[in-house]
Structure 1
Amino acid sequence: MLFGAIESGGTKFVCGIGNENGEILERVSFPTTTPDETMGQVIEFFKNKQMDAMGVGSFGPVDPNKDSPTYGYITSTPKTKWRNFNFIGELKKHFDMPIGFDTDVNAAALGETEWGAAKGLDSCVYMTVGTGVGGGAIVEGKMLHGMLHPEMGHILIKRHPEDHFTGNCPYHNDCLEGMAAGPAIEKRWGKKGIELQEVDKVWEIEAYYLAQVVVNLVYTISPKRIILGGGVMKQKQLFPMIRKNVKELLNGYVETKEILVDIDNYIVSPGLGDNAGLCGAIALAKRAYQG
C-alpha cells in the first residue's frame, strides 16, 4: 500500500509518499504562501501518483470533527489568508480516496506511537517548540479531541523571576508560546536561539517554561511518554534542564518510576526526528484507509 502524506506547517509544507511501515519513499517541501499557490504545488506533486489514501497533519486551529459542517477546515488561524480554508474540500476536488485529517501535532503524536519514541505505548504527548508551540496527544490509542483539539501551546504559565519580557503571543502575550517559542527567544534576547547556544541564562529560562507544560501534562493527561520536538529542542542542553525542573516542580507529588528513576526515558526527543509530522500524516492515511 502507498499513502500520500502532507505535513502542513505555518512556515512550510512537506509532502511525501510512504508505505504502511512508515517508510518515506519520496518527499518534497516548499514555503507556505497563499492557499492558491501552495495548494497548487501540493496538487501538482501528488498528481498521477499511485496512492491508496492520503493523510493531512495541519497547522491550526482546525476542525477535526467529522460531524461538523466545517470538518477539514483550517479555522481561526493568525495566518489570515488561510483563515476558514476548506483544506480537505480542496483535496477532494482532485483525489477520490479516503483522506485522514488532524492537527500536525496530533499527527506527529500518532506517528511516534506507530513507529517512533512511543512505539508500543497507548498514550503519549508530542510537543513541538519552534516558530510556535503546539501539542498533540494519544490517549488510550486515540488522538485526543474534545470541544476542539488540544491547544497546549497557549497554556498559562508562571513567569521566571528574572524574566521581564512582556511576551510575544498576539492573543495572550505571556502564555507558553508567547514566552518560549523561537520568535519569543529572538525578541527577548535580540538574537536567534542558534546564536545563543552558550548563554546559559537563555536556556535556564526556556527550560523553566517548558518544564511547566510537562508538569501540567503529567497532572492532567498522565501520558506514558512526553516527546519534545521542533527547532528549539535541537538545543540538546534543554533536556536535562527540563527534567531537573520537572522533578523540582512536582516536588515529590508524583512518585512513579518514570519520574523518580527513569525520567531520561520519559521526557525524550522524537524517535522519528524531523520526520515525525510526515510519518504522522502517513499514519493518518493508513487509519483512513482502514476505515
Structure 2
Amino acid sequence: MLAGVELGGTKVVVLRAQGQKIIDHRTIPTTTPQATLGAAVDILRTWHHETPYAAMGIGSFGPLQLNRQARDFGVMLPTPKPGWAGADIYAKLTAPFDCPVVIDTDVNGAALAELRWGAGAQGPVPSDSLCYITIGTGVGGGFAFNGRTVHGALHPEIGHIQVRRAPGDDFAGSCPFHGDCIEGLVSGPALARRFGAPGHSIASDDPRWDFVASDIAHLVTTILMNTAAQRILIGGGVGTGRADLLDRIRATAVTLAGGYLPYISDATIASVVRTPMLGDQAGPLGTVALALDALNGIDRL
C-alpha cells in the first residue's frame, strides 16, 4: 500500500494506491498550513490503521528546500502563497508514519508520471526528456530526464523566468517578487488582473490573448533552447482550458524558433508541445511515482 499527497496552491489530493493504481483519494482545500496539513494527516492516519503504508510520495507546490543535508529540508521557502513560507511540509506529513518517503515538487512528480505512463511512454519512440508545465494559480515547471527528476542548487523555477514582451503589451505583471515574470503574466490571478475579469470569462477572440500566447511561447522556446526536451506538456486550468490558446502558442513558438531547431516545424510542433496525456491525474500519479521510488530505495534528491 502506497500513500500520496499532492499539495497544490488551491487544493490538496490525498490518496492511497496499490502499485500504479489509485484505489482511494480525498480532496481538501488549501487554507493555512496547520489546517491543511493537519487534515491531510488525519486522512492518512485513518487509512494507515486499515493497511500500513509501505512507502509515501509527496508532491508539493514550492519553492521547497529539497537538499536532505539542509537543516530546513522539506520546508517551504519564501513563496507568494500567504502564510506558507516556513511551513515544514515534510515533517508534518511524515511524522506519524514509519515508511520510506520521497518528496519533490508537484510538477516534478507530474513530469515523472507523464514520462513513465503518459506522453513520454507513447508513440513509436518513447521520450526520455520531458517538461511538464502547469498554468493555474501559479506557473510551475518540472523536468524528468532519463527516468529522473531534475534538481540542482534548487528545483527548477521556470515560473519566474522573465520573457521578451510582445510589442504593445503594457501589462505590468502581478508577481510580488518580479512583476512581469511568466507567472506574473499568465497565471490565473495574473490573467484576472490583466483582463479585469477571470480568464475563463474572456472571449477567445479577444486580441489580448495574443499577448498571453506570445508570453507562453517565449517560455516554451526558452525551455527548448536550454534543455532540448522532447516533449513540453502544458497543463493546469489555464493550460488545458483553451485549445485555441494552445494552437496560438504552437504557431508563435515555431516562429520564435526561427528554423534553428531541426525538430521544430509546423508539421512537428503539435507532437512536441501538447497537453498532458494523463490529464488531471498527472499530479496524483506523480505522488505514486515518487512513492514507488521510495519503495525501491531510489532517492531523487
Q: For this structure pair, what is the TM-score category when the shorter chain's length is used for normalisation?
A: over 0.9
List gaps (5 residues or longer) in structure 2. Answer: none
Which deviates the most, 59-68 or 192-201? 192-201
**Paired residue secondary structure (1:287):** helix
- Summarize the alignment of residues 251-270 of structure 1 with structure 2, pairs less than 5 Å apart: 251-256=258-263, 258-259=264-265, 261-270=267-276
Q: Cα deviation per residue 1:191-237 (whole Å; 9 max; x = unaligned)? A: 11111133331321111010001100111011111000000121111
Partner of 2:8: 9
Rounded Cα–Cα distance in structure 2 between residues aligned with 1:202 and 1:14 = 34
Rounded Cα–Cα distance in structure 1 between residues aligned with 2:146 and 2:189 = 34
- Summarize the alignment of residues 151-166 of structure 1 with structure 2, pairs less than 5 Å apart: 151-166=157-172
Contact kept in structure 2, 1:61 and 1:75, CA below 8 Å:
yes
Rounded Cα–Cα distance in structure 2 between residues aligned with 1:141 and 1:259 = 27
- Summarize the alignment of residues 140-289 of structure 1 with structure 2, pairs less than 5 Å apart: 140-233=146-239, 234-256=241-263, 258-259=264-265, 261-289=267-295
Q: Cα deviation per residue 1:247-288 (whole Å; 9 max; x = unaligned)? A: 1001111112x5453211111101111111110011001101
Question: Normalized against structure 1, the TM-score is what?
Answer: 0.95
Rounded Cα–Cα distance in structure 2 between residues aligned with 1:237 and 1:89 = 43
Rounded Cα–Cα distance in structure 2 between residues aligned with 1:216 and 1:198 = 25
Equivalent position to 1:46, from 41, 44, 67: 44
Q: CA deviation at 1:183?
A: 1.1
**Paired residue secondary structure (1:65):** coil
Taking only the aligned residue pairs, the percentage that are identical comes to 39
Contact kept in structure 2, 1:88 and 1:99, CA below 8 Å:
no
Equivalent position to 1:110, from 112, 119, 124: 112
- Summarize the alignment of residues 49-60 of structure 1 with structure 2, pairs less than 5 Å apart: 49=47, 50=51, 51-60=53-62
List gaps (5 residues or longer) in structure 1. Answer: none
Partner of 1:34: 32
**Does 2:90 correspond to 1:88?**
yes
Q: CA deviation at 1:25?
A: 1.4
Equivalent position to 1:101, from 95, 100, 103: 103
Equivalent position to 1:79, from 75, 78, 81: 81
Q: CA deviation at 1:80?
A: 4.1
**Paired residue secondary structure (1:157):** coil
The aligned amino acid for 2:252 is N
Q: Between Structure 1 and Structure 2, how many residues are aligned? A: 288
Q: CA deviation at 1:92?
A: 2.8
**Paired residue secondary structure (2:120):** coil
Partner of 1:19: 18
Q: CA deviation at 1:141?
A: 2.0
**Does 2:141 correspond to 1:135?**
yes
Q: CA deviation at 1:11?
A: 1.3
